[in-house]
Structure 1
Amino acid sequence: MLLVSMILLGAVIGFVGAGGAGVTITLLTVGFGVPIHTALAVALASMTFTMISGAYSHFREHEVVVRTGAVIGAGGIIGALLGEAVSNRMPSNDLSFMTGLMILSSALILYIKLYHADWLNNHLPVRQTLLTGKKLYLYGIPTGIVSGFLAGAFGIGAAAYIQIALMVIFGVPLLQSIGTCMMIIFPISASGGLGYLASGHLDLWIFLQTLAGLTSGAWIGAKMTHLAPLSVLKASIVALPTIGGGIMLLFH
């Protein structure tokens, strides 16, 4: 049942292209009674493999700003390990509640990006030139540490936060922000997953079923994206993490 459920969830994630980690955690904890720490470990470890393929694909299309991604990703490794250490010391109920809040906050950011882009641009003007030199390291490493901490502590990819930071602070164009974000999340999820593995929270059998189900399901779902009306797609992108976060808070 876990494998079948992950295939179905993977199809939905592949269709909307966002919010996968949070809903995966919700399904594991609420649907199958997996302990929250194990669910976070599985979600992070699964993201490691999905980000590899995504980042490589964007890299081949010249849609990754490598230096920016490397600097933020390096800070992300530190943050993910710190987040994992904090998460391991949090009671399960508190961790579930915080994870639910984080998932809902991601849904809110996605809603603003999709439905109130003009308001967002007026309040967060996008940098027009690529940030380089010392400022790249001065801003990049702390940004990575914060993003990595959120991912390591609460199991989410923090993609919504990272993409906005890339455009507003680092001057990465929208198209390249997607690929660069994937490059950043890869070391974050890998280091966080390894941290959970070292602490004994990563269940390999659950992880293998989750990864196989999400990967195969996402391949199917991605082929349906271009068939859906834009209004349906936008609503689904926001609805997925909203439902996942709401269920997590309701049943935490």
Structure 2
Amino acid sequence: MLIFFTMFGLGLLLGFIGAGGAGTVIALLVTVFGVPIHTALGTSLSGMIFTTLSGAFSHFREGNIVTRIGTAVGIFGAAGAFTGAKIAVFLPSNDLKCLTAGMLFLCGILFFIRFYFASTGIFSRLEPDSPPAGFRFWTAACGLGIVTGILSGTFGIGATPFIQIGLLVFFGMSIQQAAGTTMLIILPIALLGGLGYLTEGYLDAGLFLKVTAGLMSGSYMGAKFTNRLPLPFLKAAMVSVPILGGFLLLWGS
């Protein structure tokens, strides 16, 4: 039951910031509960299917999802995630833990730059005057989906910050829309990534049920607060969650 209640509390936070949260889930499973890294990756990524389904439904009801963009990016992301899961199998456990922690730190740093230094950084130069259309739309959707899908499958992190930053920069979304649409994008990524780990034997059914039940119920409730709590709090949470997960993984190495 301890795993369930831990995941429920984490789900509240993840639903609020629009994250699948696989990286933080992995960090808790490995560091606190002693689960092997490859099993934690497979279980966490598979659990995101139901976590993000719950959160996405809640965000949809709150009006935070841009369906066309989310669907397009998600389809390309699914192909990348399945490939990434196959790559992860060949990485040694210690190397995979360190690489995953490094990706989480990078996620937090990118969020920090995007939110607090956007007017002087690269993000301000990249941000479009209007959302892309036609060929530019599909190029952006394909590039964002494939890259974040491979990151998700390889490191099991869901690549939430990279997806959200891509939506903010290349599609000109608001922070609330980026949070909600990311939940839709992660659905097919988690499905194909989880399938990749399942075919390699890295999925614990009992652990999967506990993780999924806790995250799913917490995520649905957490999404209710995205539009209700102050924007500075949302930004701070988006920056802090991946960095915390990275520290946990390194601490347990």
Do they fold alike, i.e. is TM over 0.5? Answer: yes
TM range (shorter): 0.7 to 0.9
Q: Distance in 2 between matches of 1:64 and 1:220?
A: 17
- Correspondence for 1:88: 89
* 1:245 equivalenced with 2:246 (yes/no): yes
- Correspondence for 2:127: 126
Classify 1:235/1:72 alpha carbon distance in 2 versus 1 (closer, same or farther; 3 Å).
Answer: closer
Q: Distance in 2 between matches of 1:67 and 1:250?
A: 40
Q: Distance in 1 between matches of 2:232 and 2:225?
A: 14
1:19/1:237 contact within 8 Å kept? no
- Correspondence for 2:70: 69
Q: Distance in 2 between matches of 1:221 and 1:8?
A: 9
1:35-89, CA deviations, whole angstroms, 9 ceiling, x for partnerless residues?
Answer: 1111111221121112223333444555433332222222111110110010011
Give TM-score, length-normalised by structure 1: 0.85
Listed as ranges, the gaps of 5+ residues in structure 1 are none
Any residues of structure 2 matched to 1:7-26 within 5 Å, and which?
7-14=8-15, 18=19, 20-26=21-27
Per the TM alignment, residue 232 of structure 1 is displaced from its structure 2 partner at its CA by: 6.0
- Correspondence for 1:98: 99
Classify 1:196/1:167 alpha carbon distance in 2 versus 1 (closer, same or farther; 3 Å).
Answer: same
- Correspondence for 2:180: 179
Any residues of structure 2 matched to 1:1-252 within 5 Å, and which?
1-14=2-15, 18=19, 20-60=21-61, 62-120=63-121, 123-218=124-219, 234-252=235-253
1:124/1:168 contact within 8 Å kept? no
Q: Distance in 2 between matches of 1:229 and 1:54?
A: 19
1:159-207, CA deviations, whole angstroms, 9 ceiling, x for partnerless residues?
Answer: 2111222232234454433332222111111110111112110111001
- Secondary structure at the aligned position of 1:32 is classed as coil
Q: Distance in 1 between matches of 2:134 and 2:113?
A: 31
Classify 1:237/1:177 alpha carbon distance in 2 versus 1 (closer, same or farther; 3 Å).
Answer: closer
Give TM-score, length-normalised by structure 2: 0.85
Pick which of 146-155 and 8-17 moved more. 8-17
Classify 1:19/1:138 alpha carbon distance in 2 versus 1 (closer, same or farther; 3 Å).
Answer: closer
| Percent identical residues | 44
Per the TM alignment, residue 212 of structure 1 is displaced from its structure 2 partner at its CA by: 1.5
Per the TM alignment, residue 221 of structure 1 is displaced from its structure 2 partner at its CA by: 5.6
